[in-house]
Amino acid sequence: MSDTLRERALAYHQLPKPGKIAIEITKPSATQDDLVLAYTPGVAAPVREIAKDPEAAYRYTAKGNLVAVISNGTAILGLGDKGPLASKPVMEGKAVLFKKFADVDVFDIEVDAADPRDLIETVVRIAPTFGGINLEDIKAPECFDIEAELIERLDIPVFHDDQHGTAIIIAAALENALRLNGKKLEEIRIVCVGAGAAGIASMRLLKSMGVPPAHIMMCDRGGVVHTGRDDLNRFKLEFAVETDRRTLADALDGADVFIGLSGPDLMSADMLRSMARDPLVFALSNPDPEIDPQLARATRDDVIMATGRSDYPNQVNNVLGFPFIFRGALDVRARRINEEMKIAAVRALRDLTHVPAPQAVLDAYRLDRLEFGREYLVPKPLDPRLIDWVPPAVARAAVESGSARLPYPPHYPA
């Protein structure tokens, strides 16, 4: 980070008052009668209703539009384990995105709980306050067990965005890219570098969408994840394959897709040259991708490229997913965000890219035109149509799959 950017960022977070979020009062509070209703004795009426019927909390409190963004700070962005307090700027930032893009209210909660059991029990105990739980910046492999147990124990959506948000955007971009190069999901061979939360969740989602398990080769710091290794946790074992390939270079020879969720400069020009025709390269390490996009394009003129950066085309950005997925889930009071709802989000993002972008998007990104193609695989984060496409798709999938408590909202498109 440059000194200039650092100083601007610090000033942004500090001035005119510290932090990025605040609490808003939604009811009148100007008169004595207002206070009688807001607190004692008037507040006793909704208390009694909720005691009789817990579902009444959705009518009389903010629960139905309130999400907890929770972290223990063990995997903050690309900075590692910096502790729960250091994660607070990130969690406040997440709150800003929820509110800005989908009008979802957030309490950010930083938990001093390096032990997964402590974190799980803390979340379970505070869950009655919320309509959904967004887990964030929790290290792998603990994050998998934490999310799985919370999903089983709670009756509200629990979503680890580092896993599923990334996976959903990758899948949408991948499906669109395959439309361009004419290959099929069930035929492609994928190499994924990075066997952490995002890598494992992304490959799980792609398997559920039709990629054969044998066509996925995962690499970590030890090279190819294969059945002969004795250093794999049970999550990596899920993707262990029988092969004599051992290095990333071996894995990429003839591969159709490279998905990088690891670190900078791991892919060489020679590795890219060895890939199949019209290779898809999703180099998503931030801020420095696994291969520089300029080098990639200079090496192969048939490459289709995506990164995690906003200054290159095809940014794989989680903000395309989590605000809108929770919006749809909350609006039908979903019990969980299941596979059907994730795939519905993928399809909505994929299909929106094929509809001509409105002038507002062109103006926001200073573009003359924006059409589906090699440099436009997923919508832009500032596309105002996302709120009209993704939540309805997620809500409909929730209703059809049995996750929803409420019917499909009448204010959503038919």
On the question of a cis peptide bond just before residue 18, with omega within 30 degrees of 0, the verdict is: no
Sheet order of strands, 223-224 included: 223-224, 216-220, 190-193, 257-260, 280-283, 304-307
Q: How far apart are CA 252 and CA 191, in angstroms?
A: 7
Given 63, 94, 139, 380, the catalytic residue: 94
Reply yes or no on whether 380 is catalytic: no
- What sign does the CA torsion over 251, 253, 259, 262 have? positive
Reply yes or no on whether 94 is catalytic: yes
On the question of a cis peptide bond just before residue 287, with omega within 30 degrees of 0, the verdict is: yes
Alpha helices per DSSP H over 239-385: 248-252, 269-273, 293-299, 322-331, 339-352, 359-364
For residue 283, the surrounding DSSP H or E stretch is strand 280-283
Q: Where are the beta strands (DSSP E) in 231-274?
A: 257-260
Task: Decide if 182 contacts 206 (C-beta within 8 A).
Answer: no
Catalytic center residues:
39, 94
